[in-house]
Amino acid sequence: MMKKFLAGLFVMGLAGCTVTTEQRVDGTALNYQCEGQSLSVILNNEKQQVNVIIAGEPQLLHQVVSASGAKYSNSKYSFWSKGDTAMVMKGDDIIINDCKLVQ
């Protein structure tokens, strides 16, 4: 009897689960124009992170210590901004430069 009860409880628990391929991103959209290309960034101050598409791949970058401006980084990329300007680095190399906020 207990096995049937636990099995029913398990099935009911699974019924409440959903899987989605879309990820909701909360924050403020910032649009930059950089060297002839656009760069869209979603800034989430509460979580101290940005979401940005770099080289066709979505990247989640977390805020790190910066001497000047704001810097967000993961193990591969960094996004730097100060005032209305920004740039993107891959390691030590600048890959997107001269970004101006257009929003």
pLDDT at 9 over 80: no
pLDDT at 76 over 80: yes
> What type of residue is 54?
I
Determine the topology of domain 26-101 in CATH: Lipocalin (2.40.128)
Reported as a single tens digit per residue, the pLDDT across 36-52 is 899 999 999 999 999 99
- Is the separation of the CB atoms in 79 and 72 below 8 Å? yes
Across the chain, mean pLDDT equals: 83
Start-to-end Cα distance in the chain? 63
| CA 51/CA 43 separation, integer angstroms | 7
Q: Residue 93 — pLDDT band, cuts 50, 70, 90?
A: very high
Report, as an integer, the average pLDDT of 72-80: 97
pTM above threshold 0.75? no
What is residue 17's predicted lDDT score, i.e. its pLDDT? Answer: 41
